Amino acid sequence: MNDASATGTLDGNAHEFTWISPVPPAATEIARYSENILRSLGGRLSVSVAAEPQDKVRVSDSEIAAFLNSLLLRRSIAICNIGNNYPYHKLALEVARATPSILILHDFVLQHLFLGEAHLKFEGWEAYRLIMRRCYGAEGEQIAQLVVDSQGKLLYQSPEICKIFPLVEDLGRNCLLGITHNPTLVEDLGRRLAAPVVYAPFPYDPAITASRRPSQDGRMRLVQFGYLGGNRCLNEVLDAIALHPKKHRLKLDVYGSVAAHQDVASKIELHGLASVVTLHGHVSDEILDQALVDADLVINLRNPTMGEASASQLRAFDASAPSVVTDAGWYSELPDGTVLKIPAGEEIHGLSGIFDRWSERPEDLRSVGCEGRRYLTFHHRSDLLVDVLSNLQGEIPQLRRNLGFRSMAFRAAGHARRNGLAHPGLAARLMERVNLLGLQW
């Protein structure tokens, strides 16, 4: 009798991978992240790079088909970097949907990604509604109508909506493996993707060498930077500054893209903050690094958090910049003493308290910055992620097997559901069969 635990002997050829992400000079931290990790990978993995096209807002169907075809011909496995900023992740999104891929999920909540897709690719909001329905049924469709109206105006979004309807499920169908930089999300992501998920710390090797310069006017130097969408609490920051009795002892420099730029500019004018707040737009890495090193406080609030591990925060750590974060998600896992934390919804009060604290004992905040850099050095070495990626070579057959069996079960369940054959025991029955056939979960 043959050994029932025997495994087959399919060929063990080495695999080639294609890394899909924005690359420098794209103005996103994920571009720097990719540059760093690809350099660190060296020869440990055979990887080619497909840069997200930055000269257009959408990728055409023919371009997608051509790219997918090239992946097939090269037998290359896609590693898709997925984040919330659609222009930076449009190709990865298409590939992740079309072909078995490894996903690096820079955000857990992908509401903005799909809103961006609906707006920029489909030029309408029906696509968003359809995805919400596909992922969450009738309830999702109802929620979609709360979030955005038929003209595309964003009506409402809350942490609760983001948490319950993250839309990450839409990427589960072809997911060979999910990689997250947020250890608190492994279980939830694994359940939502119905795929194996592993954690690796966000890779960030300290590189800033700029020296801190003394303040020229004695004001507290505040910095916000990055892609400042609605969840970055810029409005709350402006309110906190405007309401502070010593607002003219504060100086806020904002670097990067500001969503609703005109609204923000109007608010600055309205509050008489023109001499306090400067919107710089995008600047060079050297200028931004220097600003971070000089900062008395980097404001890196997120409400709601999208589940991301924050490259921005790690950059602030690199600069030894004292920083304040929202006490939620990945940020809440940062050790006390490496950052200042403000509960969600208490931004104005929390910031005001920090401004006062700096005014009384600036050295307290400086020590937080130093602790942050120490934490970065030990806990976010890029070799930790490099090890995870290098191990992919040997894990691909098992991951493929796993995805194949999952697809088998999900397709059968889908057929049953569409034909009115679903019943309470169906899932268990199907899992029993695929387990017998060889699924190792």
CB of 409 to another protein, least distance (A): 7
Tell me which residues in 214-273 interact with another protein (CB under 8 A): none
What is the DSSP secondary structure assignment for residue 277, as one 8-state letter?
E
Q: Residue count at the site for another protein (CB under 8 A)?
A: 37
Q: Which is nearer to another protein, 74 or 191 (CB)?
A: 74
Does 384 participate in binding another protein (rule CB under 8 A)? no
Is the bond preceding 166 in cis, omega lying within 30 degrees of 0?
A: no
CB of 396 to another protein, least distance (A): 8
What is the DSSP secondary structure assignment for residue 391, as one 8-state letter?
T
Q: Which is nearer to another protein, 146 or 437 (CB)?
A: 437
Tell me which residues in 396-425 interact with another protein (CB under 8 A): 397, 400-401, 403-405, 407-409, 411-412, 415
Strand order in the sheet with 16-21: 47-51, 16-21, 76-82, 101-105, 175-180, 197-199
Does 8 participate in binding another protein (rule CB under 8 A)? yes
Q: Which is nearer to another protein, 10 or 138 (CB)?
A: 10
Q: What gap in Å lies between CA 432 and CA 410, rounded to an integer?
A: 13
Alpha carbon distances (Å) from 248 to 243, 290, 298, 354, 400: 11, 22, 18, 15, 60
Give the type of residue at 165: F
Alpha carbon distances (Å) from 200 to 32, 86, 105, 278, 309: 17, 24, 11, 36, 11
Q: Which is nearer to another protein, 15 or 366 (CB)?
A: 15
Is the bond preceding 159 in cis, omega lying within 30 degrees of 0?
A: no
Angle at 372 between CA 369 and CA 374, to 5 degrees: 115
Instruction: Give residues with Cβ within 8 angstroms of 336, minimum separation 6.
Output: none
Q: Which is nearer to another protein, 40 or 99 (CB)?
A: 99
Does 134 participate in binding another protein (rule CB under 8 A)? no
Candidates 79, 96, 250, 434; binder of another protein (CB under 8 A) is 434
Closest CA to 275 of 243, 244, 252, 256: 252
Q: What gap in Å lies between CA 189 and CA 153, rounded to an integer?
A: 29
CB of 100 to another protein, least distance (A): 6
CB of 316 to another protein, least distance (A): 41
Q: Which is nearer to another protein, 314 or 409 (CB)?
A: 409
| 8 A C-beta contact, residue 312 and residue 300 | yes
CB of 392 to another protein, least distance (A): 14
Q: Which is nearer to another protein, 9 or 284 (CB)?
A: 9
Q: What gap in Å lies between CA 302 and CA 306, rounded to an integer?
A: 8
Does 3 participate in binding another protein (rule CB under 8 A)? yes
Q: Which is nearer to another protein, 96 or 277 (CB)?
A: 96
Tell me which residues in 142-201 interact with another protein (CB under 8 A): 174
Indicate the pairing of strand 16-21 with strand 76-82. parallel
Does 4 participate in binding another protein (rule CB under 8 A)? yes
Calculate the CA 415 to chain-centre distance: 33
Does 428 participate in binding another protein (rule CB under 8 A)? no
CB of 390 to another protein, least distance (A): 20
Q: Which is nearer to another protein, 53 or 404 (CB)?
A: 404
Q: Which is nearer to another protein, 353 or 397 (CB)?
A: 397
What is the DSSP secondary structure assignment for residue 231, as one 8-state letter?
G
Q: Which is nearer to another protein, 36 or 99 (CB)?
A: 99
Residues for the chain: how many in total? 441
Does 7 participate in binding another protein (rule CB under 8 A)? yes
Does 394 participate in binding another protein (rule CB under 8 A)? no
| Maximum Cα–Cα distance across the chain | 85
Give the type of residue at 73: L
With contacts defined by CB under 8 A, name the span among 9-17, 245-253, 324-332, 374-382 that binds another protein.
9-17
Q: Which helix (H) or strand (E) holds 18?
A: strand 16-21
CB of 65 to another protein, least distance (A): 11
Q: Which helix (H) or strand (E) holds 264?
A: helix 261-270
What is the DSSP secondary structure assignment for residue 334, as one 8-state letter?
S
With contacts defined by CB under 8 A, name the span among 66-74, 131-139, 235-243, 375-383 that binds another protein.
66-74
Tell me which residues in 67-86 interact with another protein (CB under 8 A): 68, 72-73
CB of 167 to another protein, least distance (A): 22
Binding footprint of another protein on the chain (CB under 8 A): 1-11, 68, 72-73, 98-100, 174, 397, 400-401, 403-405, 407-409, 411-412, 415, 429-430, 433-434, 436-438
